[in-house]
């Protein structure tokens, strides 16, 4: 009698995604290749329109990456050298790194331990001199945008949402990007809506900001060979837009499946004293780019190792907070400065949550985790 082979469970399954889409992706790519229009064009315009509509915005501006979306977005809002921009320490480094890249000063304030989201109370105490508030919708759950909008308005600051993980998410009746002056999205292949490489987009309801973004992404030019300001070259490729146009109609169903998986994890893991799933706010409809759980009474790294040995590949997003990165040393923070972010980085484990998991896969992940924290 042979040994039973158990397939590994990974955080992402692009092969299953391609199979679900059938030949549509290949047909879209070939259509662009045959058209000869590889930069901007009708594929990009169609995607910009539809993606903006999804987020209740009047303008969508495609760019070459999520990082570029942050950089040109900050520039479009007038952020530059010497300005102070408030953001989260519990996120990928790009959020703060792009602030520093344009010459501004990242102002980091702590997050809610239960959600990983920027804490409006902590933000309120750090608003002095802040030019822009840049919250991160971490793991696909929106921050309290209404509270941060009020803070920004009181301080005369802009609100720029980092929605790189929040495609289609909503909270309190608002979509990501609907209330902010601007929102930035990434289409890196691991995202809920990913392209076949790098891509990004900004959405806004401000006509003036949209007009400036269109200039900035094309060397500061609105009329050919007339350059009104310094910009850069960061345009969404037509091939990437064609891929996104195929996937966008599936996003709602994929996000709903992620919510079903998250609910199944919540039910299986919520009673364990050693685990604390990241809390979903009652007024929130997250899209679970990640399903995060805090390992609170066990060694997180040892638990991750036991999962891996059992063929369950959980990830750590993120193992070190922004303020403790070497590149952040000059910003004036140190160990203990932002305790909730530091605790999350020590405890967090992100379980597979992609929409092509079966219920049996989800149950296996949960059972394996419960066993791993008790070992």
* Domain shared by 97 and 239, yes or no: yes
Kindly state whether residues 57 and 179 are assigned to the same domain. Answer: yes
Same domain, 215 and 259: no
pLDDT in tens, 39-57: 999 999 999 999 999 999 9
pLDDT of 2 strictly over 70: no
pLDDT digits (tens, 9 = 90+) for 84-112: 999 999 999 999 999 999 999 999 999 99
- Give pLDDT tens digits for 297-343: 899 999 999 999 999 999 999 999 999 999 999 999 999 999 999 99
pLDDT of 242: 98
Given 230, 249, 268, which residue is the final one in a domain? Answer: 249
Is residue 299 domain-shared with residue 327, that is, in the same domain?
Answer: yes
Domain boundary among 229, 249, 269: 249
Look at residue 6 and tell me if it is in a domain.
Answer: no
Q: Looking at 220, 249, 278, which one is the last position of a domain?
A: 249
Residue 353 lies in a domain: yes
In a shared domain, residues 254 and 192? no
Looking at the structure, tell me whether residues 175 and 276 fall in a common domain: no
The pLDDT mean for the chain works out to: 96
Looking at the structure, tell me whether residues 227 and 237 fall in a common domain: yes
97 & 227 share domain: yes
pTM over 0.85: yes
Residues 289, 315: one domain? Answer: yes
pLDDT tops 50 at residue 355: yes
- Assign residue 185 the CATH number of its domain: 3.40.640.10
How many domains does one find in the chain? Answer: 2
The reply to whether 95 and 215 lie within a common domain is: yes
Q: Are residues 173 and 32 in the same domain?
A: yes
Residue 8 lies in a domain: no
Q: Can you give the residue range of the structural domain that contains 68? A: 14-249
Please report, for the domain that includes residue 305, its CATH number: 3.90.1150.10
**pLDDT higher than 60, residue 169:** yes
SS (H, E, C) the chain: CCCCCCCCECCCCHHHHHHHHCCHHHHHHHHHHHHCCCECCHHHHHHHHHHHHHCCCCEEEEECCHHHHHHHHHHHCCCCCCCEEEECCCCCCHHHHHHHHCCCEEEECCECCCCCCECHHHHHCCCCCEEEEECECHHHCCCCHHHHHHHHHHHCCEEEEECCCCCCCEECCEECCCCCCEEEEECCCCCCCCCCCCCEEEEECCHHHHHHHHHHCECCEEECCEECCCCCECCCEHHHHHHHHHHHHHHHHHHHHHHHHHHHHHHHHCCCCCEEECCCCCCEECCCCCEEEEECCCCHHHHHHHHHHCCECCECCCCCCHHHCHHHHHHCCCCCCCHHHHHHHHHEEEECCCCCCCHHHHHHHHHHHHHHHHC
In a shared domain, residues 293 and 234: no
* Mean pLDDT confidence for 364-375: 97
Residue 297 lies in a domain: yes
């Amino acid at each position: 009698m042979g040994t039973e082979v158990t397939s590994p469970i990974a955080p992402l399954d692009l092969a299953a995604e391609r199979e679900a889409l059938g030949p549509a992706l290949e047909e879209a790519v070939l259509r662009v290749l045959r058209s000869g229009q590889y930069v901007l064009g009708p594929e990009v315009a169609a995607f910009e329109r539809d993606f903006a509509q999804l987020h209740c915005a009047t303008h969508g501006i495609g760019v070459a990456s999520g990082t570029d979306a942050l950089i040109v977005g900050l520039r479009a809002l007038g952020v530059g050298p010497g300005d102070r921009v408030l953001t989260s320490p519990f996120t990928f480094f790009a959020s703060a790194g792009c602030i520093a890249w344009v010459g501004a000063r990242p102002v980091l304030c702590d997050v809610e331990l239960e959600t990983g989201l920027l804490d409006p109370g902590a933000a309120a105490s750090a608003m002095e001199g802040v030019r822009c508030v840049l919250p991160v919708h971490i793991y696909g759950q929106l921050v309290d945008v209404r509270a941060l909008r009020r803070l920004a308005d009181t301080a005369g600051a802009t609100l720029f949402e980092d929605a790189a993980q929040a495609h289609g998410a909503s909270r309190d009746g608002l979509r990501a990007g609907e209330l902010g002056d601007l929102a930035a999205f990434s289409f890196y292949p691991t995202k809920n809506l990913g392209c076949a490489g790098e891509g990004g987009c900004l959405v806004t309801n401000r006509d003036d900001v949209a007009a400036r973004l269109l200039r900035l992404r094309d060397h500061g030019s609105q009329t050919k060979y007339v350059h009104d300001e310094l910009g850069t070259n960061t345009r969404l490729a037509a091939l990437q837009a064609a891929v996104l146009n195929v996937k966008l109609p599936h996003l709602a169903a994929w996000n709903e499946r992620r919510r079903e998986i998250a609910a199944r994890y919540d039910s299986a893991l919520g009673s364990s004293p050693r685990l604390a799933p990241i809390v979903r706010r009652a007024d929130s409809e997250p899209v679970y780019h990640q399903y995060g759980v805090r390992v609170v009474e066990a060694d997180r790294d040892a638990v991750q190792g036991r999962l891996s040995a059992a063929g369950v590949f959980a990830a750590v997003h993120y193992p070190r907070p922004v303020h403790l990165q070497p590149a952040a040393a000059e910003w004036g923070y140190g160990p203990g400065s932002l305790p909730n972010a530091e605790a999350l980085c020590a405890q967090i484990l992100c379980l597979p949550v992609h929409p092509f998991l079966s219920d049996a896969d989800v149950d296996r992940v949960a059972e394996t985790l419960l066993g791993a924290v008790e070992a």
